[in-house]
């Protein structure tokens, strides 16, 4: 069993911001529900959608985003809800058959899940990475406390270039499978080992929630220093 500590992901006042954003941008955003109805994602190393929300959620109209964080910028242009609804990259009733449901090149959007909510996350380019060592810890925040039957952590193989290649299943190596977690808000996966990696890689997390057959798929960009 793994030791679990409470992480503190940055909290966002999105239910307050969303109506203001809709008025200022002329956009229709997904309605925000109570936190008990929300889901979860990897917050460290930051999943792509969560990282965009963390860096730009309260500064999304800053024109500097286009130059400083172009992949978040293109995601926001395609669908602002990719950023706001970072907890919802899941599919249901897959019975563990990930590859049939999610084709190569569509892994980061969870197979265009939720009506293409986050298809922009599959775009190839210079996503902002989190610096990690070759042995690192992953924190998954579960705002709804669904529990986890297991968490699988994959890391791209050395030689894969996320700035020029769509992510496919053959690019990934499974490096960690956890035991189950009880219902709680934060799951900490320790001692994840990815030897031989240098530079920009993708950590791909599959979280099998316990409350029903609901599976989350999250891309986190990392830099092995």
pLDDT digits (tens, 9 = 90+) for 186-222: 999 999 999 999 999 999 999 999 998 999 999 999 9
pLDDT recorded at residue 7: 39
Q: In whole angstroms, what is the distance from residue 20 CA to residue 12 CA?
A: 14
The 8-class DSSP code of residue 69 comes to S
- Give the residue-averaged pLDDT of 119-128: 96
Q: Average pLDDT, whole number, for the chain?
A: 85
For β-strands 130-132 and 172-177, DSSP reports them as unpaired
- Give the residue-averaged pLDDT of 104-131: 95
Q: Is residue 15 pLDDT above 90, yes or no?
A: no
pLDDT recorded at residue 24: 40
Sign of CA dihedral 179, 180, 182, 187: positive
- Give the residue-averaged pLDDT of 135-151: 95
Sign of CA dihedral 167, 170, 176, 180: positive
Could you tell me the residue ranges of all domains in the chain? 14-224
pLDDT, tens digit (0-9, with 9 covering 90-100), for 55-87 = 988 877 888 899 999 999 999 999 989 888 899
pLDDT recorded at residue 189: 98
- Give the residue-averaged pLDDT of 35-50: 84
User: Please, which pLDDT band fits residue 119 given cuts at 50, 70 and 90?
Assistant: very high
Q: Is residue 4 pLDDT above 70, yes or no?
A: no
CATH class of the domain whose range is 14-224: mainly beta
Comparing 13-17, 34-38, 63-67, 79-83, which segment has the lowest mean pLDDT? Answer: 13-17
pLDDT recorded at residue 135: 98
- Give the residue-averaged pLDDT of 30-59: 77
| Residues 6 or more apart in contact with residue 12 via CB below 8 angstroms | 53, 57, 58
pLDDT recorded at residue 84: 86
User: Please, which pLDDT band fits residue 106 given cuts at 50, 70 and 90?
Assistant: very high
Angle between helix 48-56 and 70-78 (nearest 10): 100
């Amino acid at each position: 069993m793994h030791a679990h500590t409470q992480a503190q992901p940055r909290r966002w006042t999105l239910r307050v911001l969303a109506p203001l954003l809709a008025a200022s941008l002329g956009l229709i955003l997904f309605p925000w529900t109570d936190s008990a109805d929300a889901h979860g994602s990897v917050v460290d190393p930051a999943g792509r959608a969560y990282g965009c929300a963390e860096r730009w959620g309260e500064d999304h109209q800053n024109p500097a985003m286009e130059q400083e964080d172009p992949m978040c910028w293109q995601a926001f242009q395609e669908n602002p809800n990719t950023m706001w609804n970072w907890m919802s990259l899941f599919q249901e009733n897959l019975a563990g058959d990930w590859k049939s449901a999610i084709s190569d090149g569509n892994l980061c959007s969870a197979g265009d899940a939720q009506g293409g909510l986050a298809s922009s996350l599959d775009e190839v380019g210079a996503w902002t990475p989190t610096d990690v060592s070759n042995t690192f810890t992953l924190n998954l925040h579960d705002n709804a406390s669904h529990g986890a039957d297991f968490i699988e952590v994959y890391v791209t193989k050395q030689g894969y270039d996320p700035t020029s290649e769509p992510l496919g299943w053959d690019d990934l190596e499974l490096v960690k499978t956890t035991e189950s977690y009880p219902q709680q808000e934060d799951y900490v996966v320790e001692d994840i080992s990815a030897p031989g990696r240098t530079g920009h890689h993708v950590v791909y997390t599959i979280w099998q929630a316990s409350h029903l057959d609901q599976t989350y798929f999250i891309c986190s960009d990392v830099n092995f220093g």
